[in-house]
Structure 1
Amino acid sequence: MDTSGTQSTETEFSTKGTYVTGEEYTRDTNYIETRITRGGEDGYPVEAGRYRLVVSRACPWAHRSTIVRRLLGLEDAISIGVTGPTHDVRSWTFDLDEGGVDPVLGIERLQDAYFKRTPNYPRGITVPAIVDVPSGAVVTNNFPQITLDFSTEWTEFHREGAPDLYPEALREEMTPVMKRIFTEVNNGVYRCGFAGSQEAYNAAYERLFVALDWLEERLAGQRYLMGGSITEADVRLFTTLVRFDAVYHGHFKCNRNKLTEMPVLWAYARDLFQTPGFGDTVNFAQIKDHYYIVHEDLNPTQIVPLGPDTSGWSTAHGRESLGGSPFGSGTAPTRPVDA
């Protein structure tokens, strides 16, 4: 993807992950593991206004943090910077901002914040990244931990009525569910798209659709992955599902069927899309621009398709009949979206 982070040099970075021609695509999961915690054990304590979350609307891994930040109401505690959907070989850039400069960090490239932390940072310049505003240095790009810490370390700044996205009583059950979603679905579409051989692609394709069939069955009798309310697991699955027909089905050759042809998953995805915090953080145009323009090896013409028709995302889904409540005992976010 856009955020996998492979080995890179001062002037070049990759956004796809690593793979060997003729073999299975392998994602580089070595991230900056520094954490922002209440106790500040890593030197970065939870502090409102100190940190800036840098994302791209195109990126599914960054999209997780955008959703969780909004669901928990952390907008006043953690500011957000949004890069453009495309980038050059060096870095994500702030070309959506006036003058191409992030108004808080004062930089044109996210690379600058990585180099502030580690000169000539040798891995991928990835989003999401949390930047320490006073120093201008990246604190972490460890996307799976970022959202969990939003739920567990930033509780002092959660909005009234914020949902519990990482319930302690469900964590033991959630862990294998989220692991399977990551390995087989979130990363599975990339194994298809960047397979280095027909054999590797065939195996990746089979694994992906076995997992999607498992999810279709799991969600047939319950509204959300862990039961009657939204959790971190749903956030992680949604960011792949919402991109499936727009880019993964064609661009990544994940074409056994479209999401719209899987009745349960399509209804589930629409249910989430119509829930505040999910669909209101989706930008289909930027998603397509990223994949079809940046991945020149897969799409050398860089032509961005006009379809698919996205109006179906707003149609009735019928999932209310399964009971439950999206936010559990909490309430929906009402604040206008800032990203």
Structure 2
Amino acid sequence: MGEFDLIRRYFQRPAAAGVDVGVGDDCAVLVPTPGVRWLVSSDMLVEGRHFLSTVDPARLGHKALAVNLSDLAACGAAPRGFTLALALPRVDEAWLAGFSRGLLGLADAQGCPLVGGDTTQGPLNLCITVFGEAPAGQALLRSGARVGDEIWVSGMLGDARLALEVFRGTVALVGNAFERVRLAMECPTPRVALGQALRGIATAALDLSDGLLGDLGHLLAASGVGARLDVDALPRSAVLAAQPAALQHTCVLAGGDDYELVFTAPPGARLPDVGVPLTRIGVIEAAPGLRVVDAQGRDLAHGLRSFDHFAA
């Protein structure tokens, strides 16, 4: 099967609403909406670095798009479309069928059509660029947190890191417990509806990809503030809560791959209800730095750091 046959069979679809020209031409032609701003983000997934070779291809397709949609969610953007650059060591039709099913299934669910991209032969590598839009002046940024704001997080933290520890052989989980944390690792849910609902409410936001400590640190640096983080308030699943405290702290503070939203909002703000649990986990302070404290307010000496591609 040649390159263009591969594209036609697994990735070409009729143009969607707002797309004059999609897959199959030199460029996609998208129709801008009056009064909005475009938001654009790219993420790369490399085999052995971001995912295991044993991952189900449908889940990999889902995750490849989900991590990009999570960036749009963090900015309060509505998805408009995406491009896919795909390097494959060889043409494997069964793999391509599963991958495209997971990828396009999430695309359909989020109203985010595939509008172009590229394919080539090489080590397995996926790069997606996603396009979204938000009303002018309403995009959520990292730079708006103010002293006294509360810090909130969506969903649960740490399950993806716990699954990684199982694959590394440092933790033993079996049956449904393992499948639950593995699903969190391989098939995250981008909080797109929540991000849009937070426009006009959240003062700053970002998504969790490399771990809470590092990612929240980026928000604090952009906003020129510090924070107190309550480690015992961090939401975690029953599976993770059954693990030793030190492992729990590693997973929820520095685990990465959560793809939940962390955001700040004024005290008493009326938060949206979009079916996603929200947990207050701390408060913005004037003094720089990020303090992690326990339920009694004592500083936690943790020695943890988030993932860094070039320091790991």
TM-score by length of 1: 0.28
Greater C-alpha Rg? 2
Higher percent of residues as helix: 1
TM-score by length of 2: 0.30
